[in-house]
Structure 1
Amino acid sequence: MKPTLCLLVASLMMNTAAAAQPVPPDVEKRPHTVKAPFGAERADEYYWLRDDTRKDPAMLAYLAAENRHVDALMAPLKPLEESLYGEIVGRIKQDDASVPYRERGYWYYSRYEAGKDYPVYARRKGDMQAPEEVLLDLNTMAEGKGYFSVGDMEVSQDNRLLAWAEDAVGRRQYTLRFKDLETGRVLDDVIEGVSPNVVWADDNRTLFYVENDPETLLTVRVKTHVLGTPASADRQVYEERDDSFYMGIGRTRDDRYITIGVESTVSSELRYTPAADPGAFTVLAARARDVEYDADHYDGRWVIRTNADGATNFKLMTAPEGASGRGQWQDWIAHDPQVLIEGFELFDGHTAIAERAEALERVRLLFADGRSEFVKADEPAYSMGLSTNPEPDSEWLRYTYTSLTTPATTYELNVNSGERRLLKQQPVIGYDPSLYQTERVWVTARDGARVPVSLVYRKGFKKDGSAALYQYAYGSYGMSMDPGFNQTVVSLLDRGMVYAIAHIRGGEEMGRGWYEDGKLLNKQNTFNDFIDVTRALVAQGWAAKDRVAASGGSAGGLLMGAVANQAPQDYRVMVAQVPFVDVVTTMLDASIPLTTNEYDEWGNPEQKRYYDYMLAYSPYDNVRAQAYPALFVGTGLWDSQVQYWEPAKWVARLRDLNTGTYPIVFRTNMEAGHGGKSGRFQRYRELAESYAFVLSQLDVAH
């Protein structure tokens, strides 16, 4: 698009009071009261928009009307949206492939074919010059489907059979299927309603899987299926009766044991049985509130990562073969209040430990003789982590490295000689990293906490307070938003914008305490941090006060909703994808997927002190008569994590009370769930639309 035309389009969009602006739909109000167990009541006039079947004609008509409104409002920006999409997709090497890894004599990898949306999973026997064996071609499998995803796939121990979990709806209720890799025949065995998590026993006929509750989608039972028998004959080996726990299954590093792990926000429990002769499961250590652990087995011992005994940032312990109970655990790597241990990988003669210090990841190598050294990094803000290392007898460690300017890179390091090999760097067509700069800055929040912020911009940027800023954060569940390369952001940087990741409390960037300070009755710190980062960046000249965009999704969408209510004047435009905005109503309803698992994250609103605290920040409950920033809100009709009706209700109430003139748009993907549309290109269509909206609102030259 020519610059003059682009600016004209932007000015038209900015003039939101213009008579020609499309009128948003007006949805019906129906009286409804939401009651808490202790008697509190709240009016929810849009409660009726909830339809668990997704079939209510009035609800569907409303969502369709909102989509038509987005189409009409965004019509002048269609050339910009197409330009952005072309740029983003144009950076993708369409016939790309993953780094192959070796396991039990085969090299496994995935590859894309030019112009196709889905990967092909394949392997080669012995070396990469051997003939290719296609395991699954998702392009063929997805034909005729609006959504398709494979969540997990596992090859049997004798390399002959493949089990995989597929989802053709987007609701994360998977179907298990099986394939004979020698003949290519898909077997008749089919198991419905499962989690994407499967493990083979050593007999190569028995598969362990996790069954979901059909209503709540919680992981409730572990069962075994014997090939050739009906699913109705599958045997239950474990049932989790506490619905605040998630469940998963796996194999230990040495392949000796099959494990069942359960965990809540504040507690863990692992049980194990021999893979060669599965039977009764032994509990490694019984669950205890505020004690979390995960464990692996290798070289005749258990290695356990745990926060037991006050080890807030976790420590490593060991236990002998056949251990049962914490009384047999012995300290190995001591707790360090300045260093969070995030994970580990066991090898012959050394251990690789994934750590985090001062909001940066690192990998530490610990040798059998007590020596310790760090894998080196070259930039002030980066992300580093352990890669796929299936062979514990290897002297080569694979790890990944990326930054806001460095595309995702896979290295392997010889732990004995120090030799490093570059295996692959994400190809980004037309991208020159020397043109961009990344920085790490620190912002002092209102209570004195130092909040790290990762920044990236195109060189030549002038820090004079005139630029546009795109600020992103998440801030929940202890999930760290590390500064990794995002090729879509290049389209913002090339237009003079600054991109910032605010590492706010509620994540774990600064250790476990950073997470604890941003959940439950400390949740307001998450919102304060985000707002304080914005104000500091503007004060320091990184951006103009009236040219700030904010973005977040899921729990980050809750962040957007709370910030929009609490500091609307600090933002010109916001993007809230699949936002969790009706906190109290959702957390009062145990029938909604994930609710009971979340009590230790948000609080249980059946208790008045949590109810009152959550009600004080819940975005839907705190919409009031004030001028809101422009808002782009997105959801998926089949989302199983944040139900579509939360943003639908929120937008409807915003429309009622917003005194400002900036547009609020609400896009529902009618064929998608929490992660948006399937396929590698489809999600870029959605992203290009939200980017176009943001650029127009910030008056960024296109």
Structure 2
Amino acid sequence: MLKRSSLSVSIAIILGLSLAACSDQTEQQTNSQQASQTEQQSQLPAPPDAVEKDFIVESPVADRVDTYYWLRDDERKDPEVLAYLEAENEYYDAYRKSYEQLEQTLTDEIIGRIKQDDSSVPYVKGDYEYYTRYEEGSEYPIHARKPVSGGEEQILLNVNELAKDHDYYTAANLTISPNQNLLAYMVDTNGRRQYQLWIKDLTSGEMRKQSLDGLSSSIAWAADNKTLFVIENDPQTLLSTRVLKHQLDAPAEQAELVYEEQDESFYMWLSNSRDNQYVKVQMSSTVADELRILDTSTPDADMTVFAPRERGVQYSAEHINGRWIIRTDWNAPNFKVMQVDADEVGSRDNWQPLIEHSDDVFIQGFTTFTNYLAINERSDGLRRIRVLPWQDFEQQRYIEAEETPFVMYSQRNPEQDTDTLRYGFSSLKTPTKIYAYDMKTGEQELLKQDEVLGDFDSSNYRTKRVWAKADDGTEIPVSLLMRSDFEHDGTAPLYQYAYGSYGSSSDPYFRSTVLSLVDRGFVYAIAHIRGGQEMGREWYEDGKLLNKKNTFTDFIDVTEHLVKEGYAHPDKVFAMGGSAGGLLMGAVANMAPDLYRGMVAHVPFVDVVTTMLDESIPLTTNEFDEWGNPKQEEYYNYMLSYSPYDNISAQDYPALMVTTGLHDSQVQYFEPAKWVAKLRDMKTDNNPLVFSVNMEAGHGGSSGRFSRLEEVAEEYAFILDLLEQ
């Protein structure tokens, strides 16, 4: 049920004051804030005012008028549209001028915590150990390797050199050939995630751009070291649809079509199996999977269907020693593990059980070794690792956690014939630790702990797991980070984050950036709301399709709980979410605007119905099973009832910072642009509304590590400036 929360009642509960007294106090605070904001905004130029142009959005259910639809320009070239976006950037720059020193302080502070000349822990594959390192002051990584037997470093890619003539540059999915003499990688130069294939000869150093463009980032090698498999995207929808077999340096027209996906509800990617014996092409929709495999020694053979797709059955598989290990939800909502001999693939009837389904444990994934199986799983909303010897599963053991809440996960383990598992451990106050775990003895070695520069001391912080009760009685887990000297008296500011879609879980990883808020007295909260998978598959099912509103009301209930329990002052609550988490921000802003002092919505998906009606927009058809198909009346009406853009009303809204990237292929820039334009016309408050458009980037923001941190500093400066008003 949609609801609005009464800020006055919340204050009364916390402070024990009469409702009338609380109302007077709140009114005084509100008047003071409005006066401050009015004074600040009086010194600004007028915000951009997008003109309204009637446009009919047609639907089999009902037509709607969208007066800002004209802001959509698929070519990103319309002078009127670009002028409007530039005007929004100019307005944002004028707004932030008043706190530019704070923003610079935060930038220096956040970057100052980073060990700039850092290096990853090397992993061994074949004759080399591979790693990534950064140099002092550099934006981009250097990918390198050294012979295991000893010898000098060999630079695979210095991304700083490659990116120097580009405003945006990503080198993705570096993939070494079987003989380890060639490097294949994908390049994106505008953030739209449409890649070009490049090859580097590691013997001669020669780099060659291949003739294929418009690709996904996935790559798989055949055993002959000259045949590559890649995926070509549809130029309109950007869906990954065509698997191509490409001979090195051959023209694009000679690439052979191996497979073409006809069902636009499926994503597709490919890779090599961990033992490099197979090419794997994985097709996945929200509710079904299909895997096709090909022996790398016979690249001209036909691919084999591992098991035919069936709606309601998801699976993935990995090969080891003549058999396939399978993770599947076949009659197992929280997934189970099965196996099949390599010569018996083709039907699920041949699958044999290994690890049965549990109502209390969600199997996240697994890593196969010659002698052991390592299971990544969730229980009580936390990620753990369970190690089982193939010879006797009764001898299983869990890797022990050092504290809670935490996250534990398998690191990169390319070699199967080893008894050493590499894994990562982190918490909100503990920087990531990389361990080598001896699966035979249970002993472990700390290989590295991320270094945080400055005066960071983990003992200055404490973490906590609390549970907030939703309206329907469901207990929502919440991870908290605060200073050790935190006073539990209801005076602290709160920064609350959540995502809550696609079954993607928001784990309590360490983030050094958020210390800039926590050190200024904030409580940092991750709300593990429904729509993720923190509490198992049912947690996801209860937050999608016709249950989607649970995601939004859970977030609101968490806020109310934290305020009621004295973790935050009711007038100092801030919220942030991005992408589908931006949808969360937009819905909550409409439903409970009085709970939040300010909100940050990064690349927000806010025009749900119009986007999901248009199958030419990237990703739309893939997501009917996530949001619903609005061409069906039941889903149309439900989606329309929460779509942030469609539910803007003449009411007061929190201060809002909205961001987007002009080349975003996941959430097109025009969704937040229209949302901001309509909010400007409809909202009745004087609270700030700023819109930052990165004209050179896509969904992930800037590509350089420092420029990304600068964007975080912008967000925090916006919040802290509001707090001081």
TM-score tier by shorter-chain length is over 0.9
Residue of structure 1 in register with 2:268 after alignment = 247
Residue of structure 1 in register with 2:164 after alignment = 143
Residue of structure 2 in register with 1:458 after alignment = 483
**Letter of the structure 1 residue corresponding to residue 229 of structure 2:** F
Cα deviation 1:382-430 (Å, max 9, x = unaligned): 0110001111111111000000000111101111122211111111102
Identity of aligned residues (%): 54
**Structure 1 range deviating more: 501-510 or 68-77:** 68-77
Question: What is the aligned counterpart of 1:438 among 436, 455, 463?
Answer: 463
**Structure 1 range deviating more: 273-282 or 79-88:** 273-282
Residue of structure 2 in register with 1:73 after alignment = 95
SS in 2 for 1:611: helix
Matched, 1:16 2:37: yes
Residue of structure 1 in register with 2:656 after alignment = 631
Shift in Å, 1:255: 2.1
| Distance change (3 Å), C-alpha of 1:228 and 1:689 | closer
Shift in Å, 1:321: 1.6
**Letter of the structure 1 residue corresponding to residue 75 of structure 2:** T
Matched, 1:369 2:392: yes
Residue of structure 2 in register with 1:383 after alignment = 407
Question: What is the aligned counterpart of 1:587 among 612, 618, 621?
Answer: 612
C-alpha distance in structure 2 between counterparts of 1:699 and 1:672, whole Å:
31
The answer (yes or no) to whether the contact 1:573–1:698 under 8 Å persists in 2 is no
Residue of structure 1 in register with 2:679 after alignment = 654
Cα deviation 1:22-49 (Å, max 9, x = unaligned): 42111111011111123x0111000000
SS in 1 for 2:582: helix
C-alpha distance in structure 2 between counterparts of 1:509 and 1:12, whole Å:
38
Residue of structure 1 in register with 2:224 after alignment = 203
C-alpha distance in structure 2 between counterparts of 1:336 and 1:174, whole Å:
40
Shift in Å, 1:461: 0.8
Shift in Å, 1:188: 5.4
SS in 2 for 1:107: strand
Residue of structure 1 in register with 2:51 after alignment = 28
Residue of structure 1 in register with 2:15 after alignment = none
Cα deviation 1:574-620 (Å, max 9, x = unaligned): 00000000000000000000000010000000111000000000000
Residue of structure 2 in register with 1:281 after alignment = 303
The answer (yes or no) to whether the contact 2:495–2:574 under 8 Å persists in 1 is yes
Instruction: Output aligned runs, 1:462-473, within 5 Å.
Output: 462-473=487-498
SS in 2 for 1:15: helix
SS in 2 for 1:335: coil
Shift in Å, 1:12: 9.2
**Letter of the structure 2 residue corresponding to residue 389 of structure 1:** N
**Letter of the structure 1 residue corresponding to residue 221 of structure 2:** W
The answer (yes or no) to whether the contact 1:13–1:696 under 8 Å persists in 2 is no
Residue of structure 2 in register with 1:120 after alignment = 142
**Letter of the structure 2 residue corresponding to residue 535 of structure 1:** E
Matched, 1:408 2:429: no
Residue of structure 2 in register with 1:7 after alignment = none
Moved over 6 A (4+): 11-14
Residue of structure 2 in register with 1:3 after alignment = none
**Letter of the structure 2 residue corresponding to residue 500 of structure 1:** A
C-alpha distance in structure 1 between counterparts of 2:252 and 2:235, whole Å:
16
SS in 1 for 2:353: strand
C-alpha distance in structure 2 between counterparts of 1:63 and 1:153, whole Å:
35
Instruction: Output aligned runs, 1:568-583, within 5 Å.
Output: 568-583=593-608
Matched, 1:268 2:297: no
Residue of structure 1 in register with 2:235 after alignment = 214
The answer (yes or no) to whether the contact 1:90–1:429 under 8 Å persists in 2 is yes
C-alpha distance in structure 2 between counterparts of 1:661 and 1:392, whole Å:
60
Question: What is the aligned counterpart of 1:95 among 111, 117, 120?
Answer: 117
C-alpha distance in structure 2 between counterparts of 1:108 and 1:299, whole Å:
25
SS in 1 for 2:705: coil
C-alpha distance in structure 1 between counterparts of 2:521 and 2:485, whole Å:
9
The answer (yes or no) to whether the contact 1:354–1:364 under 8 Å persists in 2 is yes
C-alpha distance in structure 2 between counterparts of 1:274 and 1:602, whole Å:
37
Cα deviation 1:613-648 (Å, max 9, x = unaligned): 000000000000000000000000000000000000
SS in 1 for 2:681: helix
C-alpha distance in structure 1 between counterparts of 2:215 and 2:691, whole Å:
32
C-alpha distance in structure 2 between counterparts of 1:52 and 1:271, whole Å:
34
**Letter of the structure 2 residue corresponding to residue 403 of structure 1:** S
Residue of structure 2 in register with 1:178 after alignment = 199
Residue of structure 1 in register with 2:372 after alignment = 350
**Letter of the structure 2 residue corresponding to residue 267 of structure 1:** A
Residue of structure 2 in register with 1:226 after alignment = 247
RMSD, matched Cα: 1.1
Matched residue count: 687
SS in 1 for 2:505: coil
Shift in Å, 1:14: 7.1
Residue of structure 2 in register with 1:325 after alignment = 347
Residue of structure 1 in register with 2:24 after alignment = none
C-alpha distance in structure 1 between counterparts of 2:209 and 2:397, whole Å:
51
**Letter of the structure 2 residue corresponding to residue 672 of structure 1:** A
C-alpha distance in structure 2 between counterparts of 1:118 and 1:14, whole Å:
44
Residue of structure 2 in register with 1:84 after alignment = 106
Shift in Å, 1:531: 0.1
Matched, 1:671 2:696: yes
Matched, 1:62 2:84: yes
Question: What is the aligned counterpart of 2:514 among 489, 493, 513?
Answer: 489
User: Which consecutive residues of structure 1, in runs of 5 or more, have no partner in the other structure?
Assistant: 1-10
